[in-house]
Amino acid sequence: MTPPAPKPDAAWHALDAMQVLERLQTDATAGLAAAAVARRRAEHGPNRLAEVKPTHPMWRLALQFHNLLIYLLLGAASITALLGHWVDTGVIVAVVVLNAVIGFVQEGKAERALQAIRRMLSPRALVLRDGAQHDIDATDLVPGDIVLLASGDRVPADLRLLQARNLRIDEAALTGESVPVDKDTAAVDEAAPIGDRLGMAYAATMVTQGQARAVVVATGARTEIGRIGRLLEEVQAVTTPLLRKMSDFGRVLSLVIMATAALLFGFGTLVRDYAAIDMFMAAVGLAVAAIPEGLPAIMTITLAIGVQRMARRHAVIRRLPAVETLGSVTVICSDKTGTLTRNEMTVQQVVLAEGCFTVQGAGYAPHGGLETVDGPCAGWPPAVHGLAQAGALCNDASLREQTGPVGGAGQWTVTGDPTEGALLTLARKAGFDLAALAAQQPRLDVIPFESEHRYMATLHAPGTTPGAGNVVFVKGAPERVFTMCAAQFDDQGREQAFDAAAWHTRVDEQAAAGRRVLALARRVVPSDHARLVLGDVQQGLTLLGLVGIIDPPRDEAIRAVAQCRAAGIEVKMITGDHAVTASAIARQIGLGGGDVKAATGAEVEACDDLALRRLAIETTVFARASPEHKLRLVRALQAEGQVVAMTGDGVNDAPALKQADVGVAMGMKGTEAAKQAGSIVLADDNFASIAHAVEEGRTVYTNLRKTVTFLLPVNGGESLTLLLAVLLGIALPILPAQILWVNMVSSIGLAMVLAFEPTEADVMTRPPRRPDEPMLSGFVIWRIVFVSTLFMLGIFGMFELALARGAAIEEARTVAVNTLVAMEVFYLFSVRYLKSPSFTWTGVQGTPRVLAAVSGVFLLQLVFTYAPFMQTLFNTSALSLQVGAQIIAVGALVLLVLEVEKLIVRRLGLDE
């Protein structure tokens, strides 16, 4: 029998928890069964808000015509039509349409690329279903699902709270109120406004503190946020400050060009006595020649391709300007655990008051015994056993064996905190049945681990020893736990006075070997004591011992750090771990070139802002640091003129991520709060991905610069040619329609290649780009002027040569256009390596894209020159093979000249 569907729009906040569960026919401890989930999913649909409606394609196409140049061209087309110059009108209109279509297609491509990337960031939710915890895509939630919330989570649907511990939620997304609200589970009056409904958590709000268990009451469009019609994700325009600057530059350039064209018209008609019509066509030609029509589209697509490439290398861009900023990063501040290290923890040593044991085995597989310096131990001494038991109970992780290939051993994996996973493996090695242990000594209460406090405590029933009282277990950072201890156990299990000095020495020994150290302690409380309060753990504990955990560095992080150092980027480690452990790992990874200077969070606190600037620059490892320290460190480094990338995962890291020039959030272990604050999300939490993102960021910038350096001289050469012809009063070497052909066909086709250019070999050996460095740097401007002049000389030279040879004007013009295109093709090979030689084997080979573009352009030029209809349309005429060869030779000559120029510029050190 199908149960009636849950009533969707009840005043859930006014019902108490039991009523809500009953209405939704769900169970607070086991959650829904798979069959119920499937049914409700079919009925309610996915838990998704309406996505931003994309602009209608027709409208997008229409918008392509909304641009100064197009208006100019359409104006020219109407005038030529009035004058009966139908061919010119046809060419201009064709060009306008072609331009719009190219813009439309490119823009669509860029949009789609970004959309695909946005989808990679879909939020997750932790639910209870069929009695087990599952980490699912938040879109799969259905009413009745039991959700577990933790600090940093984004609330995935509208929820009625069942249990809440210190829960605070930032509801700004819904109510606009930026102060987080304390939540509990109480029902409130039905008429209460949203901000006062304490027992509810609403979709799209953020958990800033605490934990909760809650039941989903509404999903998707039925949530409060869905109802007010707010959209899931604001649309992001495909632009960055740099692109905006370039488009402003383009606008100014267009105005200047149009003014020049007007002047030219005046000069030609009044001074040179050209016919007004001819002069008008020349002025239009100049405007068309000088305006880089394809530039904006190509810059946008270059950016989008960069973003796609980064995503492929596990760095998902959330805010586009980050692509640019990445190229100028000078300092990367990285977390340690999981980013620089593998986050695969293994307890390697157990340290007791009277001895130290080494635990055999690596990874999470629970196989291995104990050994001492004297050799393997026969069994597990009771004191080690007791410590392993504490580690297993004061624990939120779970250890599982994935079934392996037939007959083979399975893979052991941990869900939850890997540090805790290591303790579970230890307990299994010591012979504990984890499920039985948990059943025997059920947990009564918990103080969860928070980075700020650095410990976790649990309260358990006494288990098999009746009347023994409840037991509190505490595990955490040693110096923290030591302050809570009054006694320690000897190897016979007797309590003795706590010897803090001796324990600190043992901690230092462990840390110096690069091990992460946890201390474990216990305390017995009366059996009627069923809630944990801070007072229970602050004193009177008995120390059980220490565990030394290894977390090996990631090999790829070691390589990436070396790469960053070569690229002039400092890498600093900011970690919650012990200073000695962190320094040992930092040395293994090669931070600071092996010369590791460490400071602790306490030292950071002791510094005023000025002193911190010095400390921040000099120090490589910041240990025992908390999120507030991160924020101050970013500010201090920025005050020193550094461009800072900062990683983070917790809700408290959000301010530092926002402050950093590039905030890098962890995609796997990071909270939603951190992901929203970051401008990049690392899909694999791996430091190497940050280095890759920097490399791609630098590549995007270089490619943008190549595009500009490629396109502008072509326009420059064309306009100089026209200007000179009019000023000298001679025939135009290239007609306006022909210029349009070159700009719209060969220029765009060739420039598009640059958007896809692979990373240059030396990208990561150059120093970071200065953030204030203009795109049109002195070097780029020089290159543009120089190449424009070369192009003009080439066009004019070949044109005049043809005329001198007695060729007809049509033929001479065809020679001029083909020379221009040939020079462009060879210039492409030069520009692919802006400053380094192009005459290398890889340089000459090009890439498949380069070859395709060049062949395409070559074929089109053949059509342009030899096809009768093109001859009519563009006034071209066929050329002999010999002339063709000459044209290609001129192109090659340009490349040669540019190679010599590169050599001289490099020798004189003028390249920047």
- Show which residues are catalytic: 335
| Angle between helix 609-618 and helix 627-639 axes, rounded to 10 deg | 90
The residue among 745, 875, 740, 894 whose CA lies nearest residue 814 is 875
- 10 Å Cβ neighbour count for 842? 12
Ranges of H-type helices in 313-366 = 321-326
Structure tokens at 408: 């083979």
Q: Using alpha carbons only, how large is the chain's radius of gyration in Å?
A: 35
Among residues 456 and 598, whose Cβ is nearest to ligand ATP? 456
Strand order from edge to edge, sheet including 644-648? 315-317, 680-682, 662-666, 644-648, 331-334, 570-574, 621-623, 598-600
Contacts of 901 (CB under 8 A, 6+ apart): 786
Q: Are the CB atoms for 763 and 695 separated by under 8 Å?
A: yes
Q: What is the DSSP string of 479-502?
A: HHHHTTEEEEE-TTS-EEE--HHH
Rounded CA gap, 447 and 463, in Å?
Answer: 20
Catalog residues that contact ligand ATP under the rule CB under 6 A.
335-337, 417, 419-420, 449, 451, 454-456, 475-477, 516, 518, 575-578
Phi-psi region of 130 (alpha: psi -120 to 50; beta: other; left: phi over 0): left
What does each C-alpha distance from 385 to 427, 632, 712 come to in angstroms? 8, 43, 75
By beta-carbon distance, which residue lies closest to ligand ATP?
A: 576
- Give 852-861's long-range contacts (Cβ < 8 A, gap of 24+): 853/749, 853/750, 853/752, 853/753, 853/828, 854/750, 854/825, 854/828, 856/749, 857/745, 857/746, 857/749, 857/750, 857/821, 857/824, 857/825, 858/825, 860/745, 860/746, 860/749, 861/746, 861/818, 861/821
The nearest distance, CB 392 to ligand ATP, in angstroms, is 13
| Longest Cα separation, the chain | 117
What does each C-alpha distance from 387 to 229, 424, 652 come to in angstroms? 54, 11, 32
Handedness of CA 871, 876, 877, 879 (dihedral sign): negative
Helix (H) or strand (E) holding 387: helix 382-393
Quote the strand ranges of 803-867, DSSP E.
none
Q: Which residue has the tokens 């052991």?
A: 412
Q: Which residue has the tokens 């490349």?
A: 895
The nearest distance, CB 378 to ligand ATP, in angstroms, is 31
What does each C-alpha distance from 94 to 88, 292, 737, 873 come to in angstroms? 10, 17, 10, 11
- 10 Å Cβ neighbour count for 211? 17
Rounded CA gap, 222 and 465, in Å?
Answer: 52
The nearest distance, CB 769 to ligand ATP, in angstroms, is 29
Residue type, 492: Q
Contacts of 701 (CB under 8 A, 6+ apart): 242, 324, 327, 769
